[in-house]
Amino acid sequence: MSGPSGAGKSTIVKNLAKLVPRLVVSVSATTRKPRSNEIDGVDYFFLSEQAFREKIEKKEFLEWAKVHGNLYGTLISTVNENLMRGRDVILEIDVQGALQVKEKMPDSVLIFVEPPGFEELAKRLKRRSTEDRRSLEVRLENARYELAARRYYNYRVVNDKLERAVEEIAEIIEKERNG
């Protein structure tokens, strides 16, 4: 699942994890500093840039990318372990990463979450107050690129009402499971 910052991906994923049986959320690795409410190993694996780059060299990532000035990636071991246990794995990742996953795992299903409009996206990012002015500008600029890449996705879901968006994605997961 991808979409611009502020589209509501994290909130949707948390709701899906409670609603959809056999669905597990993959924890990504990042070089970004943790926010005050984030826990290492739960929200992200917070790594130094050196540790992250060592994992790149060892080809331990299913996907990785530099986003908003930080490195983010999904560990292959985490995904494979869950798939072997019969679970569906949801990755909350950026557009670059999603396209890498699709290339390596062609059966993966890409879902793009988008806001009802760019102005609403900007309001959401300002309201959450987690970014300084420069970071906010970078995220909004990146959002333009990410929105343009939505055409590569299997599904697009507009997050105008959270409950409806969660239900729509749960239905997509069920449809894909039943093939």
Architecture of the structural domain at 9-177 = 3-Layer(aba) Sandwich (3.40)
Q: Which regions in the chain score pLDDT beneath 50?
A: none
Max Cα separation, the chain?
Answer: 45
Cα 111 from chain centre: 10
The pLDDT, as a whole number, for residue 179 is 81
CA angle in degrees (0–180, nearest 5) for 131-128-93: 75
The pLDDT, as a whole number, for residue 121 is 82
The pLDDT, as a whole number, for residue 53 is 98
Beta bridge partners of 66: 71
The pLDDT, as a whole number, for residue 169 is 98
Q: Where are the domains of the chain?
A: 9-177
The pLDDT, as a whole number, for residue 110 is 98
129-156 confidence digits (pLDDT tens) = 767 788 888 888 888 889 999 999 999 9
User: Which residue, 110, 68, 88, 100, is CA-closest to 26?
Assistant: 88
